[in-house]
Structure 1
Amino acid sequence: MIPSAAATSSSSSCPMATAVAARLLLPLAVVLAAAAGAGAVNDDVLALVVFKSGVSDPMGRLAPWSEDADRACAWPGVSCDARTGRVDALALPAAGLSGRLPRSALLRLDALLSLLLPSNNLSGSLPDALPLRVRVLDLSANALSGYLPAVLASCQSLVSLNLSGNRLSGPVPDGIWSLPSLRSLDLSGNQLSGSVPGGFPRSSSLRVLDLSRNLLEGDIPADVGEAGLLKSLDIGHNLFTGGLPESLRGLSGLISLGASGNALAGELPAWIGEIAALERLDLSGNRFVGAIPADISGCKNLVEVDLSRNALTGELPSWVFGLALQRVSLAGNALSGWVKVPGDNASALQELDLSGNAFSGVIPPEVASLSRLQHLNLSSNSMSGQLPATIGQMALLEVMDVTRNQLSGNIPPEIGATVVLRKLLMRRNSLTGVIPPQIGNCRSLIALDLSQNKLTGPIPVTIGNLISLQMVDLSENKLNGTLPVELSKLASLRVFNVSHNLLSGNLPMSHFFDTIPDSFISDNAGLCSSQRDNSCSGVMPKPIVFNPNISTDPLSEVSPTVPSSRHHKKIILSISTLIAIVGGAMIIVGVITITVLNRRVRTAASHSAVPAALSDDYGSESPDNEANSGKLVMFSRGSPDFSAGGHALLNKDCELGRGGFGTVYKAVLRDGQPVAIKKLTVSSLVKSEDEFKRQVKLLGKVRHHNVITLRGFYWTSSLQLLIYDFVPGGSLYQHLHECLGKSSPSWMERFGIIVGVARALAHLHRHGIIHYNLKSSNVLLDSNGEPRVGDYGLVKLLPMLDRYVLSSKIQSALGYMAPEFTCRTVNVTEKCDIYGFGVLVLEILTGRKPVQYLEDDVVVLCDVVRAALEEGRVEDCMDPRLSGDFSMEEAVLIVKLGLVCTSQVPSHRPDMGEVVSMLEMVRSSQSTPADELV
């Protein structure tokens, strides 16, 4: 019975009555609460069933979720609050779920504190509303896209947010730093762009902030150091400029600081040494200059320092050996002087990379005091003298790389004491003497590169003891004698290059040597093999002649006594000979045609206006004609004139290359900066001056780390010049196909090139620019080996022409062209670039050209790789110069991505943003980078 309001009111004046009323109402309140709780629990069941119906569950992880259940607490991935019975956590990592996140289902779970769905395949945009009480949200490694919703900045209870490894774009929302409970924020591996907002409050609880691997730009927020509790900050692999904000010096508890792969500049600040708790410092791949501050020695807890790929100068800091550092990389700078290792140090160094600098002097014997050292890289310096015998005392040494120095003398036999050595790389020095037989004691060796030295004597038999050996390069020495038969025991061997030596005798008998590429054994006049139709008997085989006048075996031998008077005998030409004759005739016709056209061009050029500060093979403008000269326009600050020595423009001696659009020359600005100038050879096809300038100025706004910057242009009606940044490292085509006998890009370098080109295309497409002419010759490598994509968007300079004309003029490299280009009814879109990118990926992995012309056949790379994948033998297609130090599982993933991009149906090809995300996921799955073998 429920008391009336009057009775309740009247009893308030009587303590006894109040107590009685309370005892009567208490059971009712319990019943009502229980009923309400049961309803809420049923709501949780309903919400989860709705969630299940909205996603795809191919692995059946959600099969036990049934709408007939009273509670969801026993379901896989579901946790409940012990007191209320409400669902407070949903955790389904790597469950194979796909589809969109059901917004309504999530909002029904109003007691949810934790939502963990990482490593699935969820797509679509993030919900614009989330449960208000959610404290932990992890949707990393999915396929989510779209902008970050503003609602994130109002999730007051949020403690940890991880959205890394998706395809999210747009800006970082304002106000997100002000969330009072937020301790960890990870937005890495997306496509976020724009500048990062400031507004970091002093009251911030933020401990971990990761914005790496996005497209963020501008300055690092000046007040980021106001978040005084930060322990880890990673903003690497973005487009940040400027310097490190001084507010960081106040982060006394900062343990890890990462800002690699940006465009940060200036000198390294000495106040870094004030961050006492710092353990990891990564500022690699920027533009820092000047000396490395000695004050960094104040960071007594430093374990890992990476300052590689900057423009740092000066000597090697003494703190490298004085702190408790385990890993140091100063590679790819301009450091100089002698490498001085204190003999009595107690260094904890495990990895030391000083490659790509200007260090000189000898390798100090005291290097042996680095008793814990596992990886030593001194390659690409100017070090001289002999290898110290003390190297044999380095019991833990696994990798030693002294490639590209000026070392001389013998290889010390003490090298045999480094029994855990896995890679010994000594290419391109001046080493003499014999290969010591003690090298056979290095039973862990997988890579041995002694090429391009002056070694003599035989290959030691003891190399046959190195059963783990995968890559051997002894080419370009003066080795003699025979190949040891013990080499046939090396079952793991994938590369054995002994070309350009003085070797003789038979090849060892094994499957590897029976199928060894000719390039690995070339220029050894005495090497031979009966298995390869090249016996060592010294008897030359009789010539084989095709004789159509006899009915016997067409491969019958002709007697050497045939009289010479039968020279009038009918000659039958082979198919290859006919092709050669026809090809030669076509070349002659082409040369005549080009000569006539060149004369016309020169005649026209003599009347065209050229900047007074420029000159060419055809002469320069006289002062009388300067009034009619064109205008040189530069988009960035700096002198628009060329130096007095700028006679290089259009000078054939400074020609860098020729392509479908024109010829490229190197020239120098007055401020000393080199530039590349493209003289367009499609003048007759170029649009009007106004349209030309409008399109060029649009291209001049493109700014990306992996895109060559267009600096300016010059226009007259008969001469158009485009001025680009000069990229010194040569083209990817040269590195893949023309640098024979030289170092070939390693697996990690090739992977980085693929990622860089993908990022470049994604950036161009985001700005509405179709490259149209992507190929390996249009991808240049800078001094750090990073890719820079050029020749983008130039098709917009031409009017709409017949596609055959454009394809023959611009898309000159057969094999990169998407199949829809030949169809007049299909629009040319970004999908054409994606097709060319897919071909480029396969070219990088295989080292083969997109199309190979054999004597009687044409081999298309895409078809070869696709067939190999279907037959489960992708490894047969990989570039043999990749010495095996990479994951074949990763390689297969990248091969599949390349083949998907080259799908015949444009809609089946992914967008470049999706491609970048896929590649970043592969990169993030790599526990540690693979070491370079060559």
Structure 2
Amino acid sequence: MNSLSLLLLLLLLLLPLLSLSKPPPPLNPDLLGLIVFKSSLLDPTSSLSSWTQDSDDPCNWAHIKCHPESRRVVEISLSSLGLSGKLSRSLLNLQSLQKLSLSNNNFTGFLIPDLTQLPNLTHIDLSSNGLIGEIPTKFFSQCESLVDVNLAGNKLYGQVPSSIGSCWNLVSFNVSSNHLSGSLPDGVLSLSSLESFDVSKNFIVGEIPDGIGKMTSLRSVDFSGNLMSGGIPDSMWKLWMLSYLNLGSNSFSGRVPDWIGEMKWLRVLDFSENGFDGSIPDSIGDLKFLQSLNFSGNGLVGNLPESMRDCSSLLEADFSRNHLMGELPSWLFELGLQKIFISGNKFSGKVQFSNSLGQSLLELDLSGNEFSGEIPMEIGGLWKLELLNLSANLFSGGIPSSLGELKSLEVVDLSVNRLNGSIPLEIAGAASLQELRLQKNFLNGGIPSQIGNCSSLTSLILSQNKLTGSIPTSLANLTNLETVDLSFNSLQGSLPKNLSNLPHLLSFNISHNNFSGPIPPSNFFNTIPPSSLSGNPGLCGSAVNISCPGVLPKPIVLNPNSSSQNPNTNSGITSANIRHKKIILSISAIVAIGAAALIVLGIITITILNLHARSHSSSPSAAGLAPPSDYSGSPANTDANSGKLVMFSGDKPEFASGAHTILNKESELGRGGFGTVYKTVLPDGRPVAIKKLTVSSLVKSQAEFEREIKKIGKMRHPNLVSLQGYYWTPSLQLLIYEFVSGESLHKVLHENSAAQSLTWNERFDIIVATAKSLAHLHRHNIIHYNLKSSNVLIDGSGEPKVGDYGLARLLPMLDRYVLSNKIQSALGYMAPEFACGTVKITDKCDVYGFGVLLLEVVTGRRPVEYTEDDVVVLCDTVRGLVEGGRAEDCVDGRIGGKFPVDEVVPVVKLGLICTSQVPSNRPEMGEVVKILEMIRCPGQDELSSG
């Protein structure tokens, strides 16, 4: 074998070895980044099931797009998939990524600071998630490639970073519906390519920058729902390409500028809920493309300018709640508008509808003005009309029957006028009618039975008229009915029994009429508030505590001329026979007489007992409790003398020191909005606190009382004062709580020197613990309603315990006056929606009170302080310091300088977010707890490990 053959043989032998030593192909960085990203997510619908490690190419995965040549990932579209988790830094592996859309999911945690530094990223959409924290300055430090940024609908706070000015190519920027504060940075003025700018629904302050006129590419600007102020800078007239301008719900002032007509392309113009004054400029008529115009909630005067007739594209016009006056121009109905709102002004005169009424009108609200005369019959020509509100005017005459011709009509409100006559039968022709409000007029006659044909009706309000007759049985056909108010009329007769079949009924008020007979039997009518039935002395049933008479046999008449006379009796008519003719007795009469005698006897007995009780009222034992020997210890003890005592633990206590020491002055611990608290000791030596309710006249029935109390009694949390039992009589209710040694947070902060020893960490602990207790209540659908520092007790170990929770539910209704005066007695904690009767009270009221409490703990100041010539509101003071960049100056000076600024600043900002005037802008208490925990454990460590 020659040398060449030997060499070839060696090569053949070595080939397998050479192939085994060949290095594996490099791992696809896109695949690695996506797999790591997926591992940190919860995917309830398995939308990412195709993302597996077995694949070596992610380009075939769902929701992924790749470049056709390089096979690198260029787009991730995961919108609305129900995903949850945190943003992972592994996304930075995708160096070719151009579009990232994670909107409308449940992502939490912080933004990745250098996410926007991906060299090819142009579009990023993280909207409608639960992201928190500040927008990092680094987020916009190298963003030249960015075209579209959408961070709307999260929980981001802090300021818009000035580094935003580095994004020279940015076309769309949306950070709406967050908790951002501070003023707009000057850096935004550098965004010469920006077309859409949306910072709405935040806490942005300050004025519109004067230089905004340089941003000539702008087509859409939305600053609504912030705290901005000042006038509109004249430079804005240069934004002639604008088609959308919304400055609503701020504190802007001054006149609406005349140059507004220069914005020829405007389609939406919203200056609502501000402080603009003066008249509406004539130049408004130059906006030929304007479709929606909203000037509501300002101080505008004068009449509508006739130049508006030239706004040929206008579909919606809202001038509500201004000071406009004069007659309503008839041409307004000839513009082809779909919605006209001019409520809450000073318009007067007659409303003139021409025969050429706009057939496009869907909603018409002329309420709260001074219109007079009759409602014109021509209103029946608005055949597309869905909402008609003419309430709170001076309209007279009858209700036009032509309303029945409006087949699309859903809401009719003619209340608070001077209408007379009867309710037209033709109203039943409005087959889509859902709400009919005719209260506070002079209507007479009966309720037409044809109303039963309005099968969609949910609200029927006819109170305070002069209606007569009975309730038609056809009313029970309206199975969608939720609210019925027939109060203060002259209606009579019995209530139809089939009303008990209405499945969705929430409120049924027939008070102050002449109804009689039994109340329909049903769960709803058995629990109806007595006030809804009052003023009808003939009604009977459990709801009014009057028994209905039973069905008795026909009376037996004793006739002296009966043929069954004694044959030995003289057949002549004696004087005794004459007397017997006048005597007619019946079993029912005998029963009635006996019942009356029992009632009289009962009244006498009760009177004697009351006099006896009053004679002992000055002694300590006259507290409504029986002596200890009267306590059977049974959880359901209902002895007439002792009332009903229930202990949730099943104990059978006899108060060790005797009942005579329970409710006397010596054992009193304090007084609150719901009652006085006393201390006593159980036989096992365990002290308890007993609250004697002082709202007995407002407390619900025993069944309602016990249901609510037992719900509260189930609450167990280390930071809640536990309810251990209760005692009930109709005139006295006691709540038995665990006894918490120590003082209230209010006393610690404001009434002694102990606050000097409260360190920052101790204050932070109090804030977190209080937040956790409220979150626990809200998870069990219990609203505190009365959160304040005097209801937070600090026990011997320094642990806070929240008390007085859920007691507002003991009242028959959550009356705003009662809540604001009896319960929310501490000024400054009460959420602003308590002052508005139309806003639903929710757990967001507790969030507001917590925000005030948080600021109180941090600052050591009272929620409201009074000086000789001023009232200082804590929230306003803190907000001013934060907006001035001096958040750390809020901290209680008694702490000194021993506190971490990086914790103090976000905590203070969280307090301001919780005290937002808009309930929907306040976070949930569960979210508050998470934010506080993240503040104490800074998120940057978490990010670096992502």
User: With structure 2 as the length reference, what TM-score do the two structures score?
Assistant: 0.58
- In 2, Cα distance between equivalents of 1:243 and 1:427: 38
**Cα shift at 1:96:** 2.7
- In 2, Cα distance between equivalents of 1:687 and 1:397: 65
**Cα shift at 1:148:** 1.5
Structure 2, gaps ≥5 residues long? 1-21, 527-535, 551-590, 625-662, 669-746, 757-813, 822-832, 865-870, 879-906, 936-946
- The reply to whether residue 298 of structure 1 matches residue 333 of structure 2 is no
**Using a 3 Å threshold, how does the CA distance of structure 1 residues 747 and 288 change in structure 2: closer, same or farther?**
closer
Name the aligned partner's letter for residue 559 of structure 1: G
Give the match's secondary structure for 2:210.
Answer: coil
- The reply to whether residue 110 of structure 1 matches residue 193 of structure 2 is no
- The reply to whether residue 318 of structure 1 matches residue 407 of structure 2 is no
Aligned equivalent of 1:124: 109
- The reply to whether residue 75 of structure 1 matches residue 61 of structure 2 is yes
Aligned equivalent of 1:42: 28
Name the aligned partner's letter for residue 124 of structure 1: G
- In 2, Cα distance between equivalents of 1:577 and 1:262: 64
- The reply to whether residue 146 of structure 1 matches residue 127 of structure 2 is no
Contact 1:200 1:223 in 2 (8 A): no
Aligned equivalent of 1:168: 156
- In 2, Cα distance between equivalents of 1:913 and 1:501: 59
- In 1, Cα distance between equivalents of 2:876 and 2:616: 36
Aligned equivalent of 1:137: 124
Name the aligned partner's letter for residue 48 of structure 2: L
- In 2, Cα distance between equivalents of 1:529 and 1:122: 57
- The reply to whether residue 363 of structure 1 matches residue 351 of structure 2 is yes
**Cα shift at 1:252:** 1.6
Q: 1:470 is matched with which residue: 458, 474, 480? A: 458
**Cα shift at 1:45:** 1.0
Contact 1:459 1:484 in 2 (8 A): yes
Name the aligned partner's letter for residue 125 of structure 1: F
- In 1, Cα distance between equivalents of 2:934 and 2:284: 39
Name the aligned partner's letter for residue 493 of structure 1: L
- In 2, Cα distance between equivalents of 1:380 and 1:335: 12
- In 1, Cα distance between equivalents of 2:840 and 2:214: 37
Give the match's secondary structure for 1:73.
Answer: helix
Matches within 5 A, 1:91-240: 91-103=77-89, 105-130=90-115, 131-153=118-140, 154-200=142-188, 204-240=192-228
Q: 1:354 is matched with which residue: 324, 327, 342? A: 342
- The reply to whether residue 85 of structure 1 matches residue 174 of structure 2 is no
**Using a 3 Å threshold, how does the CA distance of structure 1 residues 351 and 566 change in structure 2: closer, same or farther?**
closer
- In 2, Cα distance between equivalents of 1:95 and 1:335: 49
Name the aligned partner's letter for residue 750 of structure 1: V
- In 1, Cα distance between equivalents of 2:288 and 2:850: 43
Matches within 5 A, 1:600-611: none
Q: 2:839 is matched with which residue: 729, 734, 750? A: 750
User: CA-atom RMSD, angstroms?
Assistant: 5.0
- The reply to whether residue 64 of structure 1 matches residue 50 of structure 2 is yes
Aligned equivalent of 2:594: 559
Contact 1:199 1:223 in 2 (8 A): no
**Cα shift at 1:419:** 1.9
**Using a 3 Å threshold, how does the CA distance of structure 1 residues 200 and 480 change in structure 2: closer, same or farther?**
same
- In 2, Cα distance between equivalents of 1:543 and 1:792: 61
**Cα shift at 1:766:** 7.2
Aligned equivalent of 1:331: 320
Contact 1:92 1:118 in 2 (8 A): yes
**Using a 3 Å threshold, how does the CA distance of structure 1 residues 837 and 520 change in structure 2: closer, same or farther?**
farther
Query: Could you tell me the percent identity over the aligned residues?
Result: 31
Contact 1:191 1:913 in 2 (8 A): no
**Cα shift at 1:149:** 2.2
Return the index of the structure with the highest Cα Rg: 2
Matches within 5 A, 1:675-690: none
- In 1, Cα distance between equivalents of 2:499 and 2:230: 57
**Using a 3 Å threshold, how does the CA distance of structure 1 residues 760 and 386 change in structure 2: closer, same or farther?**
farther
Aligned equivalent of 2:743: none
Contact 2:496 2:520 in 1 (8 A): no
Matches within 5 A, 1:694-713: none
Aligned equivalent of 2:377: 389
Contact 2:517 2:540 in 1 (8 A): no
Contact 1:762 1:912 in 2 (8 A): no
- In 1, Cα distance between equivalents of 2:909 and 2:157: 20
**Using a 3 Å threshold, how does the CA distance of structure 1 residues 504 and 577 change in structure 2: closer, same or farther?**
farther
**Cα shift at 1:44:** 1.1
Contact 1:446 1:469 in 2 (8 A): yes
Name the aligned partner's letter for residue 214 of structure 1: N
Contact 1:177 1:204 in 2 (8 A): no
Contact 1:472 1:496 in 2 (8 A): yes
1:559-612 deviations in Å (ceiling 9; x for gaps): 15749997997548899997999799999999xx9xxxxxxxxxxxxxxxxxxx
- In 2, Cα distance between equivalents of 1:397 and 1:160: 40
Contact 1:764 1:770 in 2 (8 A): no
Contact 1:419 1:443 in 2 (8 A): yes
**Using a 3 Å threshold, how does the CA distance of structure 1 residues 574 and 453 change in structure 2: closer, same or farther?**
farther
Name the aligned partner's letter for residue 337 of structure 1: G
**Cα shift at 1:91:** 1.2
Give the match's secondary structure for 1:248.
Answer: helix
**Cα shift at 1:200:** 5.0
- In 2, Cα distance between equivalents of 1:339 and 1:406: 15
Contact 2:361 2:384 in 1 (8 A): yes
1:864-919 deviations in Å (ceiling 9; x for gaps): xxxxxxxxxxxxxxxxxxxxxxxxxxxxx99xx99x74x8xx986877999xxxxx
**Cα shift at 1:320:** 4.3
- In 1, Cα distance between equivalents of 2:599 and 2:173: 88
- In 2, Cα distance between equivalents of 1:512 and 1:753: 29
Contact 2:861 2:874 in 1 (8 A): yes
Contact 2:374 2:396 in 1 (8 A): yes
Give the match's secondary structure for 2:452.
Answer: helix
Matches within 5 A, 1:429-828: 429-512=417-500, 520-529=509-518, 531=520, 559-560=594-595, 562=597, 570-571=605-606, 733-734=816-817, 749-750=838-839
Give the match's secondary structure for 1:349.
Answer: coil
- In 2, Cα distance between equivalents of 1:913 and 1:267: 45
**Using a 3 Å threshold, how does the CA distance of structure 1 residues 255 and 530 change in structure 2: closer, same or farther?**
closer
Contact 1:350 1:373 in 2 (8 A): yes
Aligned equivalent of 1:633: none
**Cα shift at 1:372:** 1.2
- In 2, Cα distance between equivalents of 1:792 and 1:431: 49
Contact 2:65 2:76 in 1 (8 A): yes
1:294-332 deviations in Å (ceiling 9; x for gaps): 111111100001111111111122244441210111111
Aligned equivalent of 1:811: none
- In 1, Cα distance between equivalents of 2:204 and 2:909: 25
Aligned equivalent of 2:247: 259
Contact 2:129 2:154 in 1 (8 A): yes
Give the match's secondary structure for 2:330.
Answer: coil
Aligned equivalent of 1:725: none
1:26-57 deviations in Å (ceiling 9; x for gaps): xxxxxxxxx99974x71111111121223333
Name the aligned partner's letter for residue 82 of structure 2: G
With 299-308 and 519-528 compared, the bigger mean Cα shift is at: 519-528
Name the aligned partner's letter for residue 239 of structure 1: L
**Using a 3 Å threshold, how does the CA distance of structure 1 residues 368 and 586 change in structure 2: closer, same or farther?**
farther
Name the aligned partner's letter for residue 338 of structure 1: E
- In 1, Cα distance between equivalents of 2:930 and 2:44: 24
Give the match's secondary structure for 1:531.
Answer: coil
Give the match's secondary structure for 1:223.
Answer: helix
Contact 2:854 2:911 in 1 (8 A): no
Matches within 5 A, 1:419-434: 419-434=407-422
